[in-house]
C-alpha cells in the first residue's frame, strides 16, 4: 500500500489544474494504472470544483487531497471545511424535470458517478466534509 497527502490552501478555480496534476503525477508514481488515473482525475476534478463553487462559494478555503494505491485500486479522499454537503445525496439529473427544480452541480456529480466505482461521504468529528472516491485498477473504461 502506498499513500500521499497534500493540503492546497485558499483554493480557487485557478488551482484546479494544479490539483489535477498532483493527483495524476502522484497516483502514477505510486503505481496506479494510467486508465484508472485518467478517469479518477475527471471525477476528482468535478468534486473539487463543487467544493470551490458550491462549498466555499464566495469565500476561499483549504482542500486536502489524500491518495491511496493498494491491491483494491486507487482511492482519493478529499477533505474540506466548507458547510456540510453530501454529493452522494444529489440525485442523478432528471431531464424530465423543469430546470428550476434541479440542483446545481448535478451534472458534475453525474460525471463523478460515471468515472469511479464508488463514492462515499461522511462529516468528520472535526467538522470537515470527507468525500472518498474509489476506482478499481481493472475497471477503467
Partner 1 sequence: MQLEVEQVDHPAPITILALIGELDAASYQSVIDKVKMLYDGGTRNLLLDMSQMPFMASSGLVALHSIALIMRGEDVADSSTRWQALHSVSAEFKSRTSYEPHCKLLAPEPRIAKTLKMTGFDNLFEQFAERDAALAAFATASTP
The binding site for partner 1 (CB under 8 A) comprises 13-14, 16-17, 20, 38-39, 41-42, 45-46, 49, 52-53, 93, 95-96, 98-100, 102, 104-108, 110-111, 114, 141
For partner 1, the closer CB: 9 or 17: 17
Q: Shortest Cβ distance from residue 1 to partner 1 (Å)?
A: 27
For partner 1, the closer CB: 1 or 17: 17
b/e code 41-71 from CB counts within 10 Å (16+ = b): bebbbbbbbbbbebbbeeeebebbbbbbbee
For partner 1, the closer CB: 70 or 102: 102
Beta strands (DSSP E) in the chain are 2-11, 61-70, 73-80, 118-123, 129-135
Report residue 125 as a C-alpha cell: 468529528
Q: Shortest Cβ distance from residue 23 to partner 1 (Å)?
A: 12
For partner 1, the closer CB: 30 or 42: 42
Q: Which of 110, 29, 129 shows the shortest CA–CA distance to 74?
A: 29
Amino acid at each position: 500500500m502506498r499513500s500521499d497527502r497534500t493540503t492546497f490552501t485558499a483554493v480557487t478555480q485557478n488551482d484546479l489544474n494544479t490539483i489535477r496534476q498532483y493527483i495524476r503525477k502522484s497516483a502514477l508514481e505510486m503505481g496506479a494504472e494510467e486508465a484508472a488515473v485518467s478517469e479518477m482525475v475527471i471525477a476528482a476534478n468535478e468534486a473539487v470544483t463543487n467544493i470551490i463553487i458550491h462549498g466555499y462559494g464566495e469565500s476561499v478555503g483549504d482542500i486536502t487531497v489524500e491518495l491511496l494505491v493498494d491491491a483494491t485500486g486507487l482511492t482519493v479522499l478529499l477533505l474540506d471545511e466548507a458547510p456540510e454537503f453530501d454529493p452522494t445525496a444529489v440525485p442523478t439529473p432528471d431531464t424530465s424535470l423543469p430546470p428550476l427544480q434541479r440542483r446545481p452541480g448535478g451534472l458534475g456529480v453525474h460525471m463523478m458517478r460515471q468515472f469511479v466505482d464508488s463514492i462515499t461521504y461522511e462529516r468528520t468529528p472535526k467538522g470537515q466534509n470527507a468525500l472518498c472516491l474509489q476506482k478499481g485498477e481493472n475497471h477503467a473504461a
